[in-house]
């Protein structure tokens, strides 16, 4: 019977889902978390390993001769050295598409919060500021209608397209920058250069993978291209943004606000400048984590293992 290990199952399944389908495929050992230095010990006898954030670099893979398969419980797979895995004949899979609607929903949540300052006003009411008001209504700062504003989307994959669909429903004009030619096939968006997108957008939303080319994509120079009334939303990868440069722009009033679900280091260090930056709203990497999305993730991850064991692997990275 095949031996399966799940190294950090808690994020996917904190207790509201079932591992039964995976357990039906072999001898299965599930760890909620695996601390640094324990990966080799826990995966030593496994032929199949599932991981979300527990990394497999070249030295780790060299110490796991029985390992035949790594299933990443996410879409991004940079935690595994794909080249080293391929050299050792280890099949590497990921789970695409499971969180598309949930992430687009988080973009909308941040967008509406920035436009209407929902969290700020709710907290003001809790502190008694409405009760102390002389008028029947009370607002603090400008409220913004989204109809007619421009949303710039960097990365026009599944989530970028879903976000564009939501934006159009709100009456927004959508600009897209994506090196992939496929972006031009969507006639409901305008494909533009990167500088044009930053300069013309009222909102810039990031939906691109983290690569050597996209790391630090949003830097001081590009932030300076943005309107001082504009907002930045990032539900993709934290290192796409130069965090010090973004905090400086927000604190200096050169950018109106930011909504971020990801940071460069997670959980963040206490001195991360964005935690206390002006009009910066940070959520703890939860865009993907609705129960519906996690159930899809579980279902696809189990099907990936089943397909591998049947000799017809699917969702293979680099295939």
Query: Containing H/E element for 115?
Result: helix 100-116
Q: How would DSSP label each residue in 124-182?
A: HHHTTTTTT-SSS----S-----TT-EEEEE--SHHHHHHHHHHHHTT-EEEEE-SSGG
Cβ–Cβ < 8 Å for 165, 136: no
Choosing from 117, 121, 161, 237, the catalytic residue is: 237
User: How many other C-beta atoms can be found within 10 angstroms of the C-beta atom of residue 269?
Assistant: 10
**Contact predicate 54/7, CB 8 Å:** yes
Write down the catalytic residue from 45, 195, 221, 266: 266
Residue 156 is among the residues annotated as catalytic for this protein: no
Start-to-end CA span in the chain (Å)? 27
To the query of whether residue 87 is one of the catalytic residues in this protein, the response is no
Catalytic residue among 42, 285, 303, 306: 285
Residue 165 annotated to the active site: no
Q: In sequence order, what are the residues at sequence separation of 6 or more whose Cβ sits closer than 8 angstroms to the Cβ of residue 122?
A: none
> How many C-beta atoms surround the C-beta of residue 18 within 10 A?
11
Of the candidates 285, 301, 294, 283, the residue with the CA atom closest to the CA atom of residue 110: 283
Rounded to an integer, what distance in angstroms lies between the CA atom of residue 174 and that of residue 183? 12
The catalytic residue positions are 237, 266, 285
């Amino acid at each position: 019977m095949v031996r399966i290990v799940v190294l950090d199952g808690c994020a996917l399944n904190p207790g509201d889902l079932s591992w039964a389908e995976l357990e039906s495929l072999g001898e299965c050992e599930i760890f909620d978390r695996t601390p640094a230095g324990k990966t080799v010990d826990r995966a030593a006898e496994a032929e199949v390993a599932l991981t979300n954030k527990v990394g497999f670099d070249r030295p780790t893979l060299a110490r796991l001769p029985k390992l035949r398969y790594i299933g990443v419980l996410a879409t991004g797979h940079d935690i595994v050295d794909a080249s080293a895995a391929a050299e050792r004949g280890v099949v590497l899979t990921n789970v695409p598409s499971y969180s598309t609607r949930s992430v687009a929903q988080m973009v909308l949540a941040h967008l509406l919060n920035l436009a209407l300052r929902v969290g700020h006003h709710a907290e003001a009411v809790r502190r008694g500021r409405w009760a102390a008001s002389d008028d029947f209504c009370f607002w603090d700062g400008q409220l913004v209608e989204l109809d007619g504003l421009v949303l710039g989307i960097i990365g026009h994959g599944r989530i970028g397209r879903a976000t564009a669909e939501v934006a159009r429903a709100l009456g927004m004009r959508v600009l897209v920058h994506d090196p992939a030619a496929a972006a031009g096939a969507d006639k409901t968006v305008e494909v533009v250069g990167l500088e044009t997108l930053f300069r013309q957008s009222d909102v810039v939303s990031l939906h691109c993978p983290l690569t050597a080319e996209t790391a630090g994509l949003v830097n001081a120079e590009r932030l300076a291209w943005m309107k001082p009334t504009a907002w930045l939303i990032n539900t993709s990868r934290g290192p796409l943004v130069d965090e010090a440069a973004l905090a400086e722009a927000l604190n200096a009033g050169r950018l109106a606000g930011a909504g971020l679900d990801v940071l460069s280091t997670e959980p963040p260090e206490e001195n991360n400048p964005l935690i206390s930056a002006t009009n910066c709203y940070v959520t703890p990497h939860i865009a993907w984590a609705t129960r519906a999305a996690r159930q899809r993730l579980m279902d696809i991850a189990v099907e990936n293992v089943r397909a591998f064991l049947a000799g017809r692997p699917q969702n293979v990275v680099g295939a």
